[in-house]
Chains A and B, each alone.
Chain A
Amino acid sequence: MSEPKPIVRRPLMRWAPLLVVGVLGLLLAAGVWMSRNPNREALPSPLIGKTAPAFELPVLHEAGRLFGTRDLQGAPYLLNVWGSWCPACRDEHPVLTRFAETKRVRVVGFNWNDEHADALRWLEEFGNPYWIVVTDRDSKAVIDWGIYGAPETFLVDGKGVVRWKFVGPLTDKVIADELLPKLAEIERGQ
């Protein structure tokens, strides 16, 4: 610090690394911008546009009763996969409850891989937004539906065709931007 610094020519080349990094930064910023859409990389479910796989499963609240896709035909329904073991389902719960209260469509709960008592307690504690809840303790229907986690949500129309699928917790934005337009499409009979 004490000795005087010699005056050296500062070649422009010195700025080259910064330029390279700047370009790289722009690219990464574009990447971040694109990653706003969480489903960017997710392949659309192969089920979309196809008939929903049939299931017949026990009803959570009525021992002995079976309920399945056949009983749901005729009107659209939203199938929501959840479990009491799934913290993200807790995050999603108020959003789903608000949506279910609009009564636009039947919301079917698909309780996956859960203990019967835990599932009932969970619904009692936080409220039950579902029209009906079926249970798939042994993952029978899960594979047919291509479910690989909870929460996942499917929109099925009155003819039993899967029209939309969402992986991860629903948000108000997803419902407004994706679910409601799809539902309107179904209601218009498209």
Chain B
Amino acid sequence: MLPELGQIALILALLVAALQAILPLIGAQRGIPAWMAIARPAAFAQFALVALAFGVLTYGFVSQDFSIKYVAINSNSLLPMVYRYTAVWGSHEGSLLLWALILSIWTAAVARFSQRLPAEVIARVLGVMGAVAFGFLAFLIFTSNPFERLLPAVAEGRDLNPLLQDPGMIIHPPMLYLGYVGFSVPFAFAIAALLDGRIDARWLRWTRPWTNVAWAFLTLGIALGSWWAYYELGWGGWWFWDPVENASFMPWLAGAALLHSQAVTEKRGSFRGWTLLLAIATFSLSLLGTFLVRSGVLTSVHAFASDPARGLFILVFLGIVIGGSLVLYALRAPSDDSGAPFNVASRETLLLANNLLLSTACAMVLLGTLYPLLADALDLGKISVGPPYFALMFMVLMAPLILLLPFGPVTRWQREQVSKPLAMLLPWGVLALLVGVAAYFLTPQSSWKVLAGVLAAVWIVVGTLRFVWTRFAQAGRQFTAEMLGMTLAHFGIAIFLVGALLTEGLSQQREVAVAQGQSVELGRYAFRFDGAERYQGPNYVGDRGTVTVFHDDAPVTVLHPEKRAYTSGGQVMTEAAIDPGFSRDLYVAMGEPLGGNSWALRVHVKPFVRWIWGGALLMMLGGLVTATDRRFARTETRRVAAGEAMETTA
């Protein structure tokens, strides 16, 4: 009975979404207050219904109701309790349900925290979000029903993919979706503005925290995915330029561009059309990401069973949402030259450069991701675009971005003498170069990546500190949450660069066959293999190795890498053992058993690898702190006197 209740809740949610989309949008266009007033209660009702459906499916997993096909396929009676909860989003149908749930959460949050916005604005925004929800719920109900029955029930389920039986996987998809779906808020505001024909700086200011929060969650989601791949896949890598990773990275890049262009539009009125287009693009890329992962058009480590009906449905949905938005944009977008005029030497120009570089990077990732598909469609054979393309392209595009980054905050809006920011930052540039060269000669490998990483990181940190110092040195100037957020996020980039480039430049690894008692030498570290023993896990049989690590003959730690064979599907998983450290990770993974208690062993020393995720966390924190700026809560108009020096910062 219960699954049918979930089913009914979903269908009701679909109807409510239709109501939420149609009535308020027409009401706002025609000026009918009663129709507009439907938006808020509909948003709350939709949230309650989708949450109920999600709760029912969760209960199906927890109570092991194998009469639900989705539960039977994605769980097993041996599955530990915590993974029964997370198995809900372990596969296609449940992932979409989670997507719908998170969309309804964001919608309800917008409905709740929008008391001070004009009725038409909020009616349009919630209406657009309702339309998106309608599309997703229809997709869920008609092509990917999670409540489909399997009657009579099977005695035993097939089990959750062992790759997903992992703590990192518990929170990775929800965080990622919080980011993806969060971009529906700026998107809905953009569409509302286009429908209305005016872009009011007040509403834009109101959306900025939402964009920041969505971007922060997306950052965290991507970082968690990368961290998970690092310790679970057993290859020691942290980013693979896999199509599914790219699918999440594209909205991140577009979102980062959007954060900056929104700041310009809100403060100076410039780039109005561009900001709207970016808001549309960011959410469209989130939808595209969902399409690429869920349609099976591209294959990757995350590949799921492909179903052309699903692919077609999402494609049509994508066409309506993106195509419709862009037609609206083409017809109604305001002209870009409407804001306050600015010189070539100004903060506006720098932020424009930031936007161009980030959008180009995003376009390059899109091209690299879809190129194999294009080649396949034109029958040019099966091609895969690998890390060399992406790495080169990123180097070329990110180098100027990093070079210009510290100039942004210290350059004035509208017009600036070129010599002033240059004089301010030049000494610090020299310092960064010296530290970089020193690092290059002090590290044994003398890799150019070390030079580039240290130079870029020091340049960003001291350049940003220079800005902070300017703010504090002059009495009477405040340091807002927005500035603190920006500072943290820019520091995050520096930390990330150290992690990424030093790991790439200085990592050492060896893969060797070892018998019990033998050692592997790696730089100043020695890894001694002390044998492996078999043990029984809850739903798998494991081989647990013991590896003692020495640094200059002094014991450092004992690691236990594992190989697990899952009982239900026979899949074998690698559990790498990692000794984390501030300046280096020691990473050991077991390969194949070679007979006679001898194993293939993969050992890595990875300097500063943790800084990659540390940097991402700082960026996330930056986004969240920015969102708390009290200025965003104000919706009254502030008089902007053109030509005056502004007391604001991006």
Do A and B make up one complex? yes
Q: Are B120 and A31 in contact (CB under 8 A)?
A: no
**Is B326 in contact with chain A by the CB < 8 A criterion?**
yes
**Is B386 in contact with chain A by the CB < 8 A criterion?**
no
**Is B69 in contact with chain A by the CB < 8 A criterion?**
yes
Name the residue of chain B whose CB is nearest to the CB of A21: B322
**Is B291 in contact with chain A by the CB < 8 A criterion?**
yes
- For A38, what are the chain B residues with a Cβ–Cβ distance below 8 Å? 305-306
From A11-19, A58-66, A175-183, give the one contacting chain B.
A11-19
Interface size on A, residues (CB 8 A): 35
CB distance from B318 to the nearest CB of A (A): 7
Q: Are B291 and A28 in contact (CB under 8 A)?
A: yes
CB distance from B242 to the nearest CB of A (A): 14
CB distance from B377 to the nearest CB of A (A): 4
CB distance from B310 to the nearest CB of A (A): 9
A window 2-27: CB within 8 A of B: 5, 8, 10, 14-15, 17-18, 21-22, 24-25, 27
CB distance from B247 to the nearest CB of A (A): 13
Contact of A87 among B150, B322, B569 (CB under 8 A): B150
Contact of B308 among A21, A32, A90, A168 (CB under 8 A): A32
In the complex, what distance in Å separates the CA atom of A17 from the CA atom of B311? Answer: 23
**Is A118 in contact with chain B by the CB < 8 A criterion?**
yes
**Is A135 in contact with chain B by the CB < 8 A criterion?**
no
In the complex, what distance in Å separates the CA atom of A85 from the CA atom of B120? Answer: 55
Contact of A14 among B69, B197, B306, B329 (CB under 8 A): B329
- For B69, what are the chain A residues with a Cβ–Cβ distance below 8 Å? 87
- For A142, what are the chain B residues with a Cβ–Cβ distance below 8 Å? 570
In the complex, what distance in Å separates the CA atom of A22 from the CA atom of B326? Answer: 10
From B10-18, B152-160, B509-517, B529-537, give the one contacting chain A.
B152-160
B window 276-299: CB within 8 A of A: 277, 280-281, 284, 291, 295-299
**Is B319 in contact with chain A by the CB < 8 A criterion?**
yes
Say yes or no: A36-B326 contact (C-beta < 8 A), given A84-B155, A87-B154: no
Contact of B315 among A15, A32, A90, A139 (CB under 8 A): A32
Q: Are A18 and B323 in contact (CB under 8 A)?
A: yes
In the complex, what distance in Å separates the CA atom of A36 from the CA atom of B309? Answer: 9
Name the residue of chain A whose CB is nearest to the CB of B311: A32
**Which secondary structure dominates where chain A touches chain B?**
helix
From B368-376, B443-451, B471-479, B626-634, give the one contacting chain A.
B368-376
Contact of A113 among B318, B322, B373, B570 (CB under 8 A): B570
Say yes or no: A25-B318 contact (C-beta < 8 A), given A5-B197, A85-B158: yes
Output the residue of A17, A25, A86 with the most chain B CB within 10 A.
A17
CB distance from A39 to the nearest CB of B (A): 10
Q: Chain B, 366-406, contact with A by CB distance < 8 Å: what is the 0/1 string?
A: 00001001101100000000000000000000000000000
**Which secondary structure dominates where chain B touches chain A?**
helix
CB distance from B371 to the nearest CB of A (A): 10
- For A168, what are the chain B residues with a Cβ–Cβ distance below 8 Å? 305
CB distance from B195 to the nearest CB of A (A): 10
Name the residue of chain A whose CB is nearest to the CB of B373: A31
Name the residue of chain B whose CB is nearest to the CB of A147: B570
- For A17, what are the chain B residues with a Cβ–Cβ distance below 8 Å? 277, 280-281, 326, 329-330
Q: Are B333 and A14 in contact (CB under 8 A)?
A: yes
Q: Chain B, 24-58, contact with A by CB distance < 8 Å: what is the 0/1 string?
A: 00000001000000000000000000000000000
**Is B335 in contact with chain A by the CB < 8 A criterion?**
yes
**Is B312 in contact with chain A by the CB < 8 A criterion?**
yes
Contact of A35 among B150, B308, B323 (CB under 8 A): B308
**Is A75 in contact with chain B by the CB < 8 A criterion?**
no
Q: Are B570 and A10 in contact (CB under 8 A)?
A: no
**Is B1 in contact with chain A by the CB < 8 A criterion?**
no
CB distance from B298 to the nearest CB of A (A): 7
Q: Are A34 and B315 in contact (CB under 8 A)?
A: no
Q: Are A118 and B155 in contact (CB under 8 A)?
A: yes
Contact of B568 among A21, A28, A85, A90 (CB under 8 A): A85
Output the residue of B198, B326, B335, B370 with the most chain A CB within 10 A.
B326
**Is A29 in contact with chain B by the CB < 8 A criterion?**
yes
Contact of B330 among A10, A33, A36, A87 (CB under 8 A): A10
**Is B554 in contact with chain A by the CB < 8 A criterion?**
no
**Is B481 in contact with chain A by the CB < 8 A criterion?**
no
Say yes or no: A24-B370 contact (C-beta < 8 A), given A35-B308, A36-B308: yes
**Is A68 in contact with chain B by the CB < 8 A criterion?**
no
**Is A71 in contact with chain B by the CB < 8 A criterion?**
no
Sampled A-B contacts (8; CB under 8 Å): A1-B31, A17-B277, A17-B330, A18-B326, A28-B291, A35-B297, A35-B306, A35-B311
A-B pairs with the 10 shortest C-beta distances?
A31-B297, A32-B311, A18-B326, A14-B330, A30-B377, A41-B299, A36-B308, A35-B306, A15-B330, A31-B373
